[in-house]
Structure 1
Amino acid sequence: MSTSPATETSQQPDRIREEDIARAKDLVGFYYPTTQREHFATATPDVLRNFARGYGDDNPLYTDAEYGAGTRWGSQIGAPMTGVAVNEALRADPLPAGRRRPSFRGIHVFVSGSSWEWFRPVFPGDRLYTFQGFENVEVKPSEFAGRSVIITRRHVRMNQRGEVVSIARVIAIHTDREKAKKTGKYDEIKPATYTAEDIAEIDEIYAAEGPRGAEPRYWEDVHIGDSLGKMVKGPLTGTDLILFHAGGYGFTPYAPSAARLGYQNRKRIPAFYVNNAQGVPDVAQRVHWDNEWAQSVGVPMAYDYGVLRDCWLSHYLTDWMGDDAWLLHQSSQMRKFNYVGDTHIFTGEIVGKRQDGPRRVVDVELRGTSQRGEVTCPATATIALPSRDTGPVPLPQVPEDIARTATEIYARHNQLGRNS
């Protein structure tokens, strides 16, 4: 059914162009504004609610405007990962002469991990803007696809006051779609099936879950070795992925579109569209819901987005920590695919307890484990908890260089707006 990786890859030209690698390397250390908007530009109460619900989070701090008014924040706020769905376009000057973003046409992209730092809440009415840059570009041999280009990007999100909300680092692996086919690496993986008893066991975990909410979890009351409990996500369905999109994720920069807008988008980025079995051009992004297309790029069935599991990890943490705490940092690795049909159990424990400047924090190790017994997404996090001695959690300071860059980019955005 499949040829060996060596035979398969040696007979095909490499679609990863040296020109794109050079362009990517030339952007290392250089920030440029994001000039495309996301699905949402303004964090309305509805946007905040629907984004959280899109990955299964019913925390009223994120979903109920009236509830939020009674918390220390005085308002509903956005879930930690809200920035992946809310972004307004920045006005910006063209890239300097000689600098161009790589196109990587015909290349498949896998997110293999990310790290996030959060500095202030997203409130209803906030507009978010992003600037980004490449931190590192590395070319490596790949068992899966001949060779790969691993790019670490930094995304800085700020609000309409030019205040930095979050900094995210995302590791993306770029591989040749054609060379990734038929390696045989995943031949042993079969779709998960469940009995009524299996579903009942999963439902028992769902029934026991829930956010801690208004009851403070004080730093003095937690100890190294404490468990954060258990959370379940799954079995993953196509419906889950549709709802995640409905919550706002997955539209930039490719902008999957319907009907005439889809035709116009196909003219804009034809390489993003690949004919399906019926001869119809459809988005390459459909690896997340189309088993046949997923198999054509070398995996056994459709799979999730890495950022969906990042949302699940943050959901696990925010349910445990309560309204008064603040998630400072989360870092994850996506070591295995999460296929449609898979179920994940999230567990974690306190591995450190310390003072960090004016804050009292705990360090957490956590992970999602699939029904195959595989840890697909190990992660670490740092959470600031309220203290009986020192009071509420002070929010962290933004690094000076990032704050300065944000001020400069946002000022230029406003200047270009006045001049237009």
Structure 2
Amino acid sequence: MSDKSLDCSDLDQYMGKPIAPAKMKEPLHNNDIRRWVQAMHYPNLMHYDHDFAAEGRYGRIVAPQSFAVGVDDGHGAGPACVGCIPDSHLIFGGDEWWFYGPRIFGGDEITNEKVPFDYAVKQTGFAGPTCFQRGDNNYYNQNGDFIAKQRSTAIRYARDSAVEMGSMDNTEDPVWTAEELKELETKKYEYIKMMHELGHGKRYWDDVKVGDELPVRIIGPHSVASFTTEWRAYLFTIWGGTHRPGMDMASFGFTEEFAGHENDPVMERDNPEWTDGAYFGPSRGHLFPEWARRVGMPRGYGYGASMGAWILDYLAGWAGEWGQVVHSKASYRGPAFTGDITIMQATVTDKTVDDEGRNIIQVDYKMRSQTGTVMATATAEVELPTR
């Protein structure tokens, strides 16, 4: 266990104080929603097929509940990483979501009000002293309707400690045979077929039983190409699309080689490639194995915000267009690595009617890789219609 200290003294001054809100420069377009579900491997016709959506509950294409994080200026991490921790890096540690009913459509203008919440320092086997910092993202539309609250957890750690303690045994992608890949595609289609079979129909609360298992969802094998596709679906990664907050990444304590100019509005006008986390700055470890190893990861790895989206999409796809996720609390134990697949399963643990009179199904969720390594766990409440 590393005995190095982690200086978090600068964080106190930011807790509970709102920071610059996030807002795109132009209204959302249906193609923004289509790009999102394509990147998140979520072929739900309600979110990309014009004709199918026109016959459904909303009469038009509707964004998935997971899309809210895609219209932030930093995939939900902003209020969870304010303050300087010298010579540090961060990864996502989890998300808690509350959804209040309003949905996102093309033409909407979403504002995210961001407020740092709290932090705690704990010892971990990954990097020794580690800061678990939380911040709230409050998403509103142009009418002031409160869409959702996202409480994100950032795991902030001393970069050198993570490199020193990290396992570098699995630096190569696993190899899949043609037969294995064909079998994977068959298994992946089972979840898609479930959505097709439900169509515009209702999944009734009355018919669900405690102990029921939700259909398995599989995505992957992940690759630098798939992670890049995900990155490009976050609207803040598009040049000129966001009212940039002007964050100074070095002031957060990122090491010089990772700080860069991500989200720098001045540099975006001068040399926008330097502001793009895919190439420079704290996000490039996801797509470049050499840089991944410099922050304690053995090879290219996925985005925590995408993992959160996979969970919400999985539950919402099962619930159907007449149901919705009302609350989810997820803990991320390890990222998706290139070459791996992600397997999602959930079990119904309770049926209740809540204080608001909503008919709720509670589930326990687990995300794992093909080796059985647990990547994330969650509990969630899903509202379903009744007969």
TM-score higher than 0.5: yes
Question: Which shows bigger deviation, 287-296 or 202-211?
Answer: 202-211
Match of 1:199 in 2: 181
Alignment of 1:21-420 (within 5 A): 21-34=8-21, 36-37=22-23, 41-87=26-72, 101-104=82-85, 106-119=87-100, 120-187=102-169, 191-210=173-192, 211=195, 212-248=198-234, 251=237, 255=262, 261=268, 264=271, 282-356=280-354, 357-388=356-387
Q: CA deviation at 1:339?
A: 0.7
SS at match of 1:204: helix
Q: CA deviation at 1:184?
A: 4.6
Question: Which shows bigger deviation, 349-358 or 63-72?
Answer: 63-72
Q: Which is higher, the Rg of structure 1 or of structure 2?
A: 1
- The residue type paired with residue 162 of structure 2 is A
SS at match of 2:91: strand
Aligned partners of 1:59 and 1:213 also within 8 Å: no
Q: CA deviation at 1:320?
A: 1.1
Query: For residues 44-83 of structure 1, what are the alpha-carbon distances to aligned partners after superposition, in whole Å with 9 as ceiling and x for unaligned?
Result: 1111111111111111211133432322223321111212
Distance 2:123 2:235 in 1: 31
Can you give the 5+ residue segments of structure 2 that lack an aligned partner in the other structure? 75-80, 238-243, 248-260
Query: For residues 169-218 of structure 1, what are the alpha-carbon distances to aligned partners after superposition, in whole Å with 9 as ceiling and x for unaligned?
Result: 11111112223223254536753221222212211112322223311111
Distance 1:372 1:249 in 2: 33
Distance 1:101 1:235 in 2: 34
SS at match of 2:308: helix
Distance 1:189 1:291 in 2: 8
Q: Does the C-alpha gap of structure 1 residues 31 and 343 become closer, same or farther in structure 2, counting only changes over 3 Å?
A: same
Query: For residues 4-57 of structure 1, what are the alpha-carbon distances to aligned partners after superposition, in whole Å with 9 as ceiling and x for unaligned?
Result: x65xx76xxx6x5x4xx34422222333341x545x753211111111111111
Aligned partners of 2:262 and 2:281 also within 8 Å: no
Aligned partners of 1:24 and 1:134 also within 8 Å: no
Q: CA deviation at 1:348?
A: 1.1
Q: Does the C-alpha gap of structure 1 residues 228 and 41 become closer, same or farther in structure 2, counting only changes over 3 Å?
A: farther
Aligned partners of 1:126 and 1:160 also within 8 Å: yes
- The residue type paired with residue 372 of structure 2 is G
Aligned partners of 1:115 and 1:329 also within 8 Å: yes
Query: For residues 239-276 of structure 1, what are the alpha-carbon distances to aligned partners after superposition, in whole Å with 9 as ceiling and x for unaligned?
Result: 1111112222564766479xx8486469889xx89xxx
Aligned partners of 1:359 and 1:384 also within 8 Å: yes
Distance 1:299 1:292 in 2: 9
Q: CA deviation at 1:342?
A: 0.7
Q: Does the C-alpha gap of structure 1 residues 268 and 360 become closer, same or farther in structure 2, counting only changes over 3 Å?
A: closer
Aligned partners of 2:286 and 2:301 also within 8 Å: yes
Q: CA deviation at 1:158?
A: 0.5
Aligned partners of 1:256 and 1:265 also within 8 Å: no
Distance 2:380 2:180 in 1: 31
Match of 2:258 in 1: none
Q: CA deviation at 1:104?
A: 4.1
Match of 1:95 in 2: none
Q: CA deviation at 1:168?
A: 0.4
Query: For residues 264-304 of structure 1, what are the alpha-carbon distances to aligned partners after superposition, in whole Å with 9 as ceiling and x for unaligned?
Result: 469889xx89xxxxxxx832311101111111222211110
SS at match of 2:310: helix
Can you give the 5+ residue segments of structure 1 that lack an aligned partner in the other structure? 90-99, 274-280, 389-420
| C-alpha RMSD over aligned residues | 3.0
Residues paired across the two proteins, number: 353
Match of 1:276 in 2: none
Distance 1:87 1:169 in 2: 13
Distance 2:171 2:231 in 1: 26
Distance 1:249 1:192 in 2: 31
Q: CA deviation at 1:153?
A: 0.7
- The residue type paired with residue 185 of structure 2 is D
Q: Does the C-alpha gap of structure 1 residues 249 and 224 become closer, same or farther in structure 2, counting only changes over 3 Å?
A: farther
SS at match of 1:110: strand
TM-score (norm 1): 0.76
